[in-house]
Chains A and B, each alone.
Chain A
Amino acid sequence: MFFKSNISNFSKAALILENGDIFPCLGIGSKGQVTGELCFNTAMTGYQEAISDPSYASQILMFTFPHIGITGVNNEDIENKKIFLHGVIFKELSNHYSNWRSLKSLNKWLIQNNVIGVTSLNTRNLTIKVRDQGALKATIINGVKKKLNIKSLVKKTADWSGINDNDLAKVVSCKKPYVYKNITKSKNRIEIVAIDFGCKKNILDLFLKSNFRVTVVPYTYNYDQIMKFKPRGVFLSNGPGDPFATSRLVLHTINELIKNNMPLFGICLGHQILGLALGANTIKMHHGHHGVNQPVKNLNNNKIEITSQNHGFMIDPKTLMQDIKVSHISLFDKTIQGIEHVSKPFFSVQYHPESSPGPHDSRYLFNKFKKNICT
């Protein structure tokens, strides 16, 4: 409730943009100061999944829906144990929460996970700013004690290295290989390896549901290390950052896999990296796609899927090789949303078929991977 703290308290937190705009606001979550790339997400549900999505590493995530935290947090709706995003912006953080599964308030969870946030901002105006000007660098401060040195803060924000050319997989990838949920080997389960660029938990869960057994490996693993697990297919996970920067370390591995006709399936960053391996380029988008209402057309059957998306880079359509065909496009801006090799078992999608949060329209892709492996 606003009345508990009057407006003069607003200066206790602040949002500073690289263009010099500064917004006094209220602090939430953990105290501190952090810089990141400001992006917005238009999903009306699923804040817990989004905040714990490793793909948001280095970003400050602003929700366009005004009330965040209504259903509290629980132990199931998390996409990664560790949180990698840099900060959150809500119009209003719900102090009170209500849901039969909720265990604690969102704020408590943010504090426990050291997430810095600010609230009580006109998030709609900010969203429009990002929409029109593109992803902005921003700093948020929770807990301003004395007068801010705005000049130096703006400079610091503008000087932040940003996501471009930044290999963030090294921050979020696992350090050691592991078998997801320690599933024992069995004839009924197909062995695959998932290269972890910042993999969401729900992707792995859906693999299990489709009868895969998944060994998750650090993204730095080379071909031989991967082949030790005798996978019948390799999955390239989602993840944060600039795909080109990350690809430098993994392209060689992927090319080996391609050469050996290993069935490949990529999601989001994994899709971009597959594209790079297949000879295309990736480019930074204006402000990216972040939402769960994004229409995608499957060009194989002309059906529409409402998808969950979270990406700031994309494959440049002009650079696609001849033997690669576009399988999915965005109906919002016609950008590439899926590619597949015309004759070989390699395919990937830019959006999130595991959709946590988001609609479940595209889960058939997990079976497609299975089919590619088994035939």
Chain B
Amino acid sequence: MPKRTDIKSILVIGAGPIVIGQACEFDYSGSQACKVLREEGYRVILVNSNPATIMTDPEFADATYIEPLTLECLEKIILKEKPDAVLPTMGGQTALNLSIELYNSKILKNNKVELIGASVDAIIKAEDRELFCNAMSKIGLNTPKSYQVSSLSDGLKVLKKLSLPVIIRPSFTLGGTGGGIAYNIEEFKDIVSAGIDASPESTVLIEQSVLGWKEYEMEVVRDKNDNAIIVCSIENIDPMGVHTGDSITVSPALTLTDKEYQKMRNASIAVLREIGVETGGSNVQFAVNPKNGKMVVIEMNPRVSRSSALASKATGFPIAKVAARLAVGYTLDEISNEITSVTPASFEPSIDYVVTKIPRFAFEKFSGASKTLTSAMKSVGEVMSIARTFEQSFHKALRSLETGLNGFDEIHLDQEDKKNFILSKLSSPSPKRILYVAQAFRENIELNQIYESCKIDHWFLKKIQEIVDSEILIKKNKKNITSDLLYQAKLLGFSDFKIAELTKSSEDQIYKLRKKFNIFPNFFKVDTCAGEFKTNTSYLYSSYEIPYQSLSYEKENIISEKKKVIILGGGPNRIGQGIEFDYCCVHASYALSSENIESIMINCNPETVSTDYDTSDKLYFEPLTLEDILEIVKLEKSKGQLLGLIIQFGGQTPLKLSKDLERHKIPIIGTSPGSIDLAEDREKFKKFLIKNKLKQPENGIAKTSNKVKSIAKKISYPVILRPSYVLGGRAMQIIYNENDLEKYVNNIVDAFGDKPILIDKFLNDAVEVDVDALSDGKNVFIAGIMEHIEEAGIHSGDSACSLPPYSLSENIIKKIIKQTKLIAKKLEVIGLLNIQFAVKYENNNELLYILEVNPRASRTVPFVAKATGNQIAKIAAKCMIGKKINSKALLPWFSKKKFAVKEAVFPFKKFKGVDVLLGPEMKSTGEVMGLDVNFGRAFAKSQIATGIKLPSKGNIFISVKDKDKPFIKVICKRLVTLGYKLVCTKGTANYLKTEKINVSFVNKVIEGRPHIVDMIKNKNIALIFNTTEGNQSISDSFSLRQAALHTNVPYYTTISGCKSVLLALENLKENKLNIKSLQSY
């Protein structure tokens, strides 16, 4: 049956900001859905608060709303756009939950809007644990014994019917937030209470744990005629007990017989039927008892998910595209498989390779957080790798992570009792557990004993053991690396770097040896059908194969005769490098294609749009390491004209490689590596600034701790310290005295070795400004100037910012523009440039400092593009291939009628016990944008979009450091005028009383009860302004911020933040929020 004609317009709901558990995979699925629905002729209305997405590019929808994902905004959009249908399955848990709200509030019914893709009944049946378990038992499937409770006392009652450990799962939350595994009664009480708080329904499921069972996932697609297919099976190497997002996984499932696989297949389809997923993709999770094959259903998601993105990339079957078509009435046999083009989508992909996914964590950013992995997801990104064997695939994935691993790297242990130490590490899941498995083999621990500790399937353990054994063999033969030895090492997936490490030679030497012996990888297609059909796809991966291959056999990687450019992607998402850079890479690809240049993408992040097989002309799903890139360059250079590599779009990942690429004489287009180095190298940069009469905060550079100290003293405290060549302010810290300095230097030497340390004078109370600019080498175009809301010292990625600036003078803006243009010219920038300035007000003077110059795409590029309407990443890519900027064709960056505020989103709730205070080290995972007619309104929207509820009345708690008191006075007066009641601690209260402001008093936590935390927990506080300074008062107020975090009370920890909130509240009082599409600005 053809598509539905009774619906004309469809509202697609996005997933909002990147958070742990919901990353750019929903940009991938959402943009696919938008593309398909427009192709089918529907009017697409899109709402998403995340400006860094491809889906919010104006050409992806007929009306694009970058607005908060709240019921209020959605209702306004529905009233204005009058869509016929809402597609809720592309935007993760956020969109599902929102759709249920829309349904419950009758907004859908009153406006005659239909939900397509999933019905409310199905969503609720899948998400409500009790209904789900009942549904499963109805179709004869087992689920772990479980009980739903809404209070701790009920929880304790049901615990009598179960045995510890148990798993606690809050209903309707994302990535298991608020849940966990309780091994004892104390943990049980903690997790149940926290889980009830975290659940929007205030319920948790207490479930008998099946720890140690094998875990599987099935990606299922079903159409309205009840045709169902399994797109991909996924096996978690980490057994039950680790959230699937945090587990290392392989595809297809490897350790199931066909009998077991088919049982799971039947069950998966039965689950979709029973839950009532009538069209679209779902994922069903199972646990299997390794002792007897007993199978239980763990859960299902009635929507596309992180796993479906992985499955799409793993097989070449675009689940989101197909699901979108099914949602508008097609059946599976009516949709063609785009990869083979001769077969329909109604088949089950067969793959002839092994796919490995490894999550990437950011624990180093959250000191104090436990690294133990549980049922609540903690990873911030992931890598995927493809190769013909498990060994090669796993090795590739390890080096794709960019965490410094070159394989199963050794863990150096000083413990006396290494064996028991390792066994304890094996029994407690952590990001490093897989390395401990290898270490266990090195320490000659028996396989069975390793199995008993970690319950990772024997087969995987055996494979790791073989790899460890091979390492020893390679080491033994280091003096005589023969062609055989090298070939076999490559067949087992060892990287050149790893082989060099084992044989005490260099990566270059091994590469030369490979050349000498003619040992190179083969490239194969991801074709959905294991070679059964001829395909035209250009989605490729490399793998080493046995030599002696007859040359007449088809080479699958066809090298074109065209002009071409290779774009290096950004690798796995991490804090500081995420979707923004993928956005830039995707735009580069679009720009190249529009200029008829073959675009070739290399990336290893399965969540992204850049690794969608139809984003670029050619996609190599490969690690971003020198070795892997060299192999691709070698081939692509062999025919046609390789103009060069784009390295300025993928964040730090490709930049780190620039020197190596230069050494190998690989052409780089855009700003030269020399200029990049000039900006990154402190000494050279300092000279450059002096030469051009530009000012930077006093600074120095040192390699030894004594030198660091003496420089700090010379500059005078506070100073800001950081290692060179890092992104996201990794290990960056403001140091107020010599004691702290000592601690910092010791830690840093451990983590970063001999990298020089940079020391800068910290500018107290300065305003930070971010500038993005474009340059073609001659013309410089100011793309956007953003004023940070938080003062300098807070990482720019964590700070909210406003475009245009809301408080800077015209004079200083002129100065910023002038200096930006000067730097762009002097650095011979071709492409994008980002500069961070600081404006300091001293004795009525405005002093302008340059903090950082980055001749590359910055995190703010997509925000600037959305705020101004100029697609600057595309223009930058065109500059790199020699096009000139036509400023007249661009929109001015400044408009008095349009303010855009970017706000960061933080993962603190995921890391128990970590302070929420911000500093120079970046901690946010994502961002939202608020767009409106003035700053206050835009700021309000940005806050609401992060999930905050700005109160219209109630108590505001105020406690500020002495220095801030004069500023808070004004704020408080206006808050009182707006009708809020103020609650303060003694110092602030006394001060405000002398200013004749009516406040009530509350105890600090250390002053006895009832205190402020009691008030917060009792929900008597609607908003918190709390600025602190000094270690003592920071630790005193820690419990306050934690309480606010867990009770969802908005809190502001800087005075500039407080001022902005005041403006927001005033504006909201005046007029309610309004919505407006990007296209109508």
Stretch at the interface among A98-106, A206-214, A241-249, A263-271: A98-106
A358: which of B226, B258, B533, B534 is its contact (CB, 8 Å)?
B258
* A6 part of interface (Cβ distance < 8 Å): yes
CA distance A183 to B654 in the complex (A): 70
> What string of 1s and 0s marks CB contacts (under 8 Å) between A328-341 and chain B?
00011100000000
Does the CB pair B256–A6 fall under 8 Å? no
* B7 part of interface (Cβ distance < 8 Å): no
Does the CB pair B554–A71 fall under 8 Å? no
Does the CB pair B347–A122 fall under 8 Å? no
A356 with B532, Cβ < 8 A, contacts A94-B459, A98-B458, A291-B350 known: no
CA distance A50 to B554 in the complex (A): 28
Does the CB pair B290–A100 fall under 8 Å? yes
CA distance A8 to B487 in the complex (A): 12
Does the CB pair A44–B545 fall under 8 Å? no
CA distance A127 to B388 in the complex (A): 14
CA distance A303 to B331 in the complex (A): 10
Does the CB pair A70–B484 fall under 8 Å? no
Does the CB pair B353–A66 fall under 8 Å? yes
Stretch at the interface among B46-54, B261-269, B589-597, B977-985: B261-269
Q: Which of chain B's residues have a CB closer than 8 A to the CB of A66?
A: 352-354, 388-389
CA distance A64 to B527 in the complex (A): 13
Stretch at the interface among A81-89, A128-136, A141-149, A156-164: A128-136
B252: which of A8, A44, A98, A332 is its contact (CB, 8 Å)?
A44
Smallest CB–CB gap between A329 and chain B, Å? Answer: 10
A331: which of B259, B347, B388, B552 is its contact (CB, 8 Å)?
B347
* A35 part of interface (Cβ distance < 8 Å): no
Does the CB pair B469–A3 fall under 8 Å? yes
Does the CB pair B347–A67 fall under 8 Å? no
Q: Which of chain B's residues have a CB closer than 8 A to the CB of A49?
A: 258
| 15-66 of chain B: CB within 8 A of chain A | none
Smallest CB–CB gap between B773 and chain A, Å? Answer: 48
Q: Which of chain A's residues have a CB closer than 8 A to the CB of B556?
A: 128
Does the CB pair B262–A358 fall under 8 Å? yes
* B449 part of interface (Cβ distance < 8 Å): no
CA distance A128 to B352 in the complex (A): 12
Does the CB pair B350–A124 fall under 8 Å? no
Smallest CB–CB gap between B103 and chain A, Å? Answer: 31
CA distance A44 to B534 in the complex (A): 19
* A357 part of interface (Cβ distance < 8 Å): yes
CA distance A293 to B331 in the complex (A): 18
* A24 part of interface (Cβ distance < 8 Å): yes
Does the CB pair A127–B352 fall under 8 Å? yes
A293 with B349, Cβ < 8 A, contacts A7-B547, A100-B292, A128-B531 known: yes
B259: which of A6, A67, A76, A359 is its contact (CB, 8 Å)?
A76
Total contacting residues, chain A, CB less than 8 A:
67
> What string of 1s and 0s marks CB contacts (under 8 Å) between B771-790 and chain A?
00000000000000000000
Smallest CB–CB gap between B339 and chain A, Å? Answer: 13
Q: Which of chain A's residues have a CB closer than 8 A to the CB of B812?
A: none
* B344 part of interface (Cβ distance < 8 Å): yes
A1: which of B266, B353, B469, B485 is its contact (CB, 8 Å)?
B469
Does the CB pair B227–A122 fall under 8 Å? no
Does the CB pair A125–B554 fall under 8 Å? yes
Residue of chain B at shortest CB distance from A95: B462
Q: Which of chain A's residues have a CB closer than 8 A to the CB of B554?
A: 125, 128-129, 132
CA distance A42 to B457 in the complex (A): 25
| 306-339 of chain B: CB within 8 A of chain A | 331-333
A124 with B333, Cβ < 8 A, contacts A45-B256, A100-B291 known: no
CA distance A356 to B352 in the complex (A): 20
Q: Which of chain A's residues have a CB closer than 8 A to the CB of B473?
A: 3
Smallest CB–CB gap between A17 and chain B, Å? Answer: 9
CA distance A366 to B140 in the complex (A): 22
* B343 part of interface (Cβ distance < 8 Å): yes
Does the CB pair A2–B347 fall under 8 Å? no
* B749 part of interface (Cβ distance < 8 Å): no
Q: Which of chain A's residues have a CB closer than 8 A to the CB of B151?
A: none
Does the CB pair B225–A303 fall under 8 Å? yes
Does the CB pair B549–A304 fall under 8 Å? no
> What string of 1s and 0s marks CB contacts (under 8 Å) between A1-13 and chain B?
1110011101000
* A25 part of interface (Cβ distance < 8 Å): yes
Does the CB pair B333–A297 fall under 8 Å? yes
Does the CB pair B553–A128 fall under 8 Å? yes
CA distance A292 to B458 in the complex (A): 27
Residue of chain A at shortest CB distance from B487: A7
Does the CB pair A306–B229 fall under 8 Å? yes
Smallest CB–CB gap between B227 and chain A, Å? Answer: 4
Does the CB pair A131–B259 fall under 8 Å? no
Smallest CB–CB gap between A204 and chain B, Å? Answer: 16
Does the CB pair A122–B545 fall under 8 Å? yes
CA distance A6 to B347 in the complex (A): 40
* A189 part of interface (Cβ distance < 8 Å): no
Does the CB pair B293–A331 fall under 8 Å? no
> What string of 1s and 0s marks CB contacts (under 8 Å) between A24-67 and chain B?
11000000000000001011111011000000000000001111
CA distance A100 to B458 in the complex (A): 11
Does the CB pair A6–B484 fall under 8 Å? yes
Does the CB pair B255–A70 fall under 8 Å? yes
Smallest CB–CB gap between A243 and chain B, Å? Answer: 23
CA distance A7 to B352 in the complex (A): 23
Does the CB pair B350–A355 fall under 8 Å? no
Smallest CB–CB gap between B396 and chain A, Å? Answer: 15
CA distance A46 to B260 in the complex (A): 10
Does the CB pair A125–B549 fall under 8 Å? yes
Smallest CB–CB gap between A43 and chain B, Å? Answer: 7
* A21 part of interface (Cβ distance < 8 Å): yes
* B524 part of interface (Cβ distance < 8 Å): yes
* B522 part of interface (Cβ distance < 8 Å): yes
CA distance A331 to B349 in the complex (A): 14
Does the CB pair A99–B255 fall under 8 Å? yes
Does the CB pair A357–B258 fall under 8 Å? yes
Q: Which of chain B's residues have a CB closer than 8 A to the CB of A180?
A: none
Smallest CB–CB gap between B317 and chain A, Å? Answer: 11
Does the CB pair B346–A331 fall under 8 Å? yes
* A109 part of interface (Cβ distance < 8 Å): no
CA distance A120 to B554 in the complex (A): 18
Does the CB pair A355–B262 fall under 8 Å? yes
CA distance A359 to B346 in the complex (A): 14
* A23 part of interface (Cβ distance < 8 Å): yes
Q: Which of chain B's residues have a CB closer than 8 A to the CB of A65?
A: 252, 350-352, 530
CA distance A304 to B349 in the complex (A): 15
Does the CB pair B333–A70 fall under 8 Å? no
CA distance A158 to B292 in the complex (A): 48
Smallest CB–CB gap between A135 and chain B, Å? Answer: 13
CA distance A355 to B262 in the complex (A): 10
| 493-535 of chain B: CB within 8 A of chain A | 522, 524, 529-534
Smallest CB–CB gap between A274 and chain B, Å? Answer: 26
- Residues of B at under 8 Å CB distance from A? 225-227, 229-230, 252, 254-259, 261-262, 265-266, 290-293, 331-333, 342-344, 346-354, 388-390, 457-459, 462-463, 466, 469-470, 473, 483-485, 487-488, 491-492, 522, 524, 529-534, 545-550, 552-554, 556
Q: What are 21 A-B contacts defined by CB distance under 8 Å?
A: A2-B491, A6-B484, A6-B485, A10-B546, A23-B548, A25-B546, A44-B351, A64-B530, A67-B389, A96-B458, A121-B546, A124-B388, A128-B553, A132-B534, A293-B347, A302-B225, A303-B227, A331-B346, A332-B347, A358-B258, A359-B348
Minimum-distance CB pairs A-B, first 7: A46-B258, A357-B258, A293-B348, A64-B530, A45-B258, A96-B462, A98-B458
- Residues of A at under 8 Å CB distance from B? 1-3, 6-8, 10, 21, 23-25, 40, 42-46, 48-49, 64-67, 70-71, 74, 76-77, 91-92, 94, 96-101, 120-125, 127-129, 131-132, 291-295, 297, 302-304, 306, 331-333, 355-360
**Contacts A42-B530, A97-B459, A331-B347 supplied; 18 other A-B pairs, CB < 8 Å:** A3-B470, A3-B488, A10-B548, A42-B352, A44-B350, A45-B257, A46-B257, A46-B258, A67-B389, A94-B459, A96-B458, A128-B531, A291-B350, A291-B530, A292-B350, A293-B529, A302-B225, A303-B227
